[in-house]
């Protein structure tokens, strides 16, 4: 272990925990100073929202701290049920089932639906939890080039008549780009495959009202399995799967990560439910986030930094790992919290800053951040 840790340090790949000393909001305290948070997944800034906290506090007072059991034994209370109903409504589906994390949802669902003899077509940039789910399933996993539907179709045609599934991130977690859903669904229909989309970074972000990929492409109700997480724009914890009632009942009976794990606390469920209501009641959050995305990309480009995104994830490509760390450190010194993303999260030599925006960032903050990023890149290139 020591040898390997030493090697990681030498390759600039050693990771350290950063301790945030305040709620996860647009401004955080870090190392005892105020920082502009430009890396959080709490895209709609709901983690510290007063009404969300108050509702979670009520659940905490009523039901205590833990759920006390797995969902199928003693760990289901009214907040789990209400949240599942709210999620199904929000996503326009018959039913929803909540898992303990998005990771548990992906690694639970995929092996449940696919097994040895089946084939899973998976985008090369899919999240680690999808990759693990594919591995655990025992099915043949065929990785297609990133968002390349021609490559996907070629690979499907090489395996005629095989039963299986196409699975893709809806918004890719590092590059922030959006799946070609129309073509993916067309291929799934044409070749009789299931379609599964991970909406971890799409929910609350894309589509006119933040309902995700289907709303963005006006393809409501078309995907077989819509998976997502409550830990990002929703500002709470947990993962979910929405689909037909048959699907959710099947998962409740078969998915190992659902069955063999203590369920989430009532307070986490209540927080997610209230946050979902706020996303619907206060459309300004999604609208402001989408405005901020346009504005920030524009500001970066004005400073000569390439930036293109329609989602809250805006990658600033650096390349060499050491350089990415230096740029991030300089930004940290100046009060901008943007960590460097390195291998194995992205490929070697493709290190980046992954800026993540919130609905509550102001124009002035985003403009200052863009200028600081450009300055830090120039500074570190010269030093
Ligand atoms: C695309 C994607 N899917 C799934 C997950 C896992 O979700 P969770 O953090 O709720 O485990 C993440 C991130 O964490 C993600 O980026």
Domain residue limits at 220? 50-281
Among the candidates 245, 260, 281, a domain finishes at 281
State yes or no: is 173 an active-site residue. Answer: yes
**176 in the same domain as 93:** yes
Among the candidates 237, 264, 281, a domain finishes at 281
CATH of the domain at 223: 3.40.640.10
Residue 26 falls inside a structural domain: yes
pLDDT band at 16 (very low <50, low <70, confident <90, very high): confident
pLDDT of 286 higher than 90: yes
User: Which residue is catalytic, options 232, 273, 288, 361?
Assistant: 232
**292 in the same domain as 272:** no
Pocket test for ligand 1, best of 231, 235, 269, 275 (most atoms within 8 A of CB): 231
User: Which residue is catalytic, options 40, 168, 173, 265?
Assistant: 173
- The residue whose CA is least distant from atom 7 of ligand 1 is 102
Total domains present in the chain = 2
Task: Give the mean pLDDT of 162-174.
Answer: 97
**255 in the same domain as 338:** no
Give a three-class secondary structure readout of the chain: CHHHHHHHHHCCCCCCCCCECCCCCCEEEECCEEEEECCCCCCCCCCCCHHHHHHHHHHHHHHCCCCCCECCCCCCCHHHHHHHHHHHHHCCCCEEEEECCHHHHHHHHHHHHCCCCCEEEEECCCCHHHHHHHHHHCCEEEEECCCCHHHHHHHHHCCCCCCEEEEEECECCCCCCECCHHHHHHHHHHCCCEEEEECCCCCCCCCCCCCCHHHHHCCCCCCCEEEEECCCCCCCCCEEEEECHHHHHHHHHHCHHHHCCECCCHHHHHHHHHHHHHHHHCCHHHHHHHHHHHHHHHHHHHCCCCCCCCCCEEEEEEECHHHHHHHHHHHHHCCEECCEECCCCCCCCCEEEEEECCCCCCHHHHHHHHHHHHHHHHHHHHC
**129 in the same domain as 22:** no
Task: Give the mean pLDDT of 238-267.
Answer: 98
CATH of the domain at 366: 3.90.1150.10
Residue 140 falls inside a structural domain: yes
**312 in the same domain as 212:** no
pLDDT band at 11 (very low <50, low <70, confident <90, very high): confident
State yes or no: is 107 an active-site residue. Answer: no
Residue 45 falls inside a structural domain: no
User: Which residue is catalytic, options 80, 91, 127, 201?
Assistant: 201
State yes or no: is 201 an active-site residue. Answer: yes
What predicted TM-score, i.e. pTM, was given to this entire model?
A: 0.96
Quick one: what percent of the chain has pLDDT higher than 90?
95
Q: Kindly give the number of the ligand 1 atom that is closest to the alpha carbon of 171.
A: 1
pLDDT of 125 higher than 90: yes
pLDDT band at 383 (very low <50, low <70, confident <90, very high): confident
pLDDT of 150 higher than 90: yes
As a whole number, the mean pLDDT across the chain is: 97
Question: What is the whole-number distance in angstroms between the Cα of residue 200 and the centre of ligand 1?
Answer: 6
**129 in the same domain as 33:** no
Pocket of ligand 1 (CB under 6 A): 101-103, 106, 127, 129, 169, 173, 198, 200-201, 229, 231, 239
pLDDT of 382 higher than 90: no
**316 in the same domain as 169:** no
Among the candidates 224, 252, 281, a domain finishes at 281
Task: Give the mean pLDDT of 226-234.
Answer: 98
**255 in the same domain as 161:** yes
Residue 204 falls inside a structural domain: yes
pLDDT band at 12 (very low <50, low <70, confident <90, very high): confident
pLDDT band at 121 (very low <50, low <70, confident <90, very high): very high
């Amino acid at each position: 272990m020591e040898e390997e840790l030493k090697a990681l340090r030498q390759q600039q790949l050693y990771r350290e925990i950063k301790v945030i000393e305040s709620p996860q909001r647009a401004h955080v305290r870090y190392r005892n100073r105020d920082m502009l948070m430009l890396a959080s997944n709490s895209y709609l800034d709901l983690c510290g929202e007063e009404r969300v906290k108050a509702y979670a506090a009520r659940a905490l007072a009523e039901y205590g701290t833990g759920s006390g059991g797995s969902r199928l034994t003693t760990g289901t209370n009214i907040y789990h049920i209400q949240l599942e109903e709210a999620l199904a409504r929000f996503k326009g589906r018959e039913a929803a089932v909540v898992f303990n994390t998005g990771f548990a949802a992906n690694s639970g669902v995929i092996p449940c639906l696919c097994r040895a003899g089946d084939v899973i077509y998976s985008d090369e940039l899919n999240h680690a939890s999808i990759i693990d789910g594919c591995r655990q399933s025992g099915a043949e996993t065929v990785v297609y080039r990133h968002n390349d539907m021609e490559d996907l179709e070629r690979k499907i045609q090489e395996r005629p008549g095989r039963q299986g599934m196409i699975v893709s991130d809806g918004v890719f977690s590092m590059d922030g780009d959006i799946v070609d859903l129309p073509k993916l669904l067309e291929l799934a229909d044409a070749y009789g495959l299931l379609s599964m989309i991970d909406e971890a970074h799409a929910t609350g972000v894309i589509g006119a009202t933040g309902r995700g990929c289907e709303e963005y492409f006006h393809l409501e109700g078309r995907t077989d399995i819509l998976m997502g997480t409550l830990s990002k724009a929703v500002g709470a914890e947990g993962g979910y799967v929405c689909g037909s009632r048959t699907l959710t009942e099947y998962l409740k009976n078969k998915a190992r990560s659902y069955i063999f794990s203590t369920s989430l606390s009532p307070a986490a469920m209540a927080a997610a439910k209230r946050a979902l209501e706020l996303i619907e009641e206060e459309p300004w959050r999604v609208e402001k986030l989408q405005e901020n995305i346009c504005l920030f990309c524009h500001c970066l480009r004005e400073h000569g930094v390439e930036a293109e995104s329609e989602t809250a994830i805006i990658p600033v490509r650096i390349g060499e790992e050491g350089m990415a760390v230096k740029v991030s450190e300089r930004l940290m010194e100046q009060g901008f919290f943007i960590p460097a993303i390195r291998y194995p999260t992205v490929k070697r030599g493709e290190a980046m800053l992954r800026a993540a925006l919130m609905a509550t960032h102001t124009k002035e903050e985003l403009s200052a951040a863009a200028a600081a990023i450009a300055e830090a890149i120039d500074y570190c290139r010269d030093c």
